[in-house]
Amino acid sequence: MAKQFEQLAPAHADFIRRQHVFFTGSAAADGRVNVSPKGLDTLRVLDPRTLAYIDLTGSGAETAAHVRATGRLTLMFCAFEDPPVILRLYGTGRLLVRGSDGYARLLADAFGGGEPTGARQIVVLDVEMVQTSCGYAVPRMDFVADRAVLDDWAARKGEDGLAAYRRENNAASIDGLPTGLGE
């Protein structure tokens, strides 16, 4: 049975910290719904009602466009190791632009000042509801290692190359919504 909570309990936060991957779900009023996997130790629980993750340069920027359009954002975590559980965080997202004061403060406070290669913004989720469910149908899988492919790609591009890539590939969503990333 699913259970709902107003905020993260300490056990929820501990579960989140142990996960190697999480998923974002977002949508604008019209157009496609987006679900994206995230990882690479980019997420932090800030308090029982707030999480943040460093968004890395990638092939698309649907979450940025959807958060700008509606603010609606869901994060989902699945236990691929025992015990089985699924945890969803429903709320409102906001974006901290790379280079802004808010970005710099949160990067220093929550991430120790370490910025991964290819970082393009920080996504903050203000949690409105926490829901857990059984996860009995989620397969068991063992974590082997993080992939270095994205970091290597971003390092080869360099700052100027990443900025050009974001202008060319991340300025709009697949539905044509502005992301704020190509500016």
Please give the C-alpha separations between residue 163 and each of 4, 57, 113, 119, 183, in angstroms, as whole numbers.
41, 9, 21, 11, 9
pLDDT, one tens digit for every residue, the chain (183 residues): 799 999 999 999 999 999 999 999 999 999 999 999 999 999 999 999 999 999 999 999 999 999 999 999 999 999 999 899 999 999 999 999 999 999 999 999 999 999 999 999 999 999 999 999 999 999 999 999 999 999 999 999 999 999 999 999 999 999 999 999 977
Distance (Å, rounded) from C-alpha 53 to C-alpha 70? 19
Distance (Å, rounded) from C-alpha 137 to C-alpha 53? 27
The tens digit of pLDDT for each residue in 104-118 reads 999 999 999 999 999
Q: What's the pLDDT score for residue 31?
A: 95
Give φ, ψ of 55 to 5 degrees. Answer: -90, 125
Which domains are present in the chain?
3-169 (2.30.110.10)
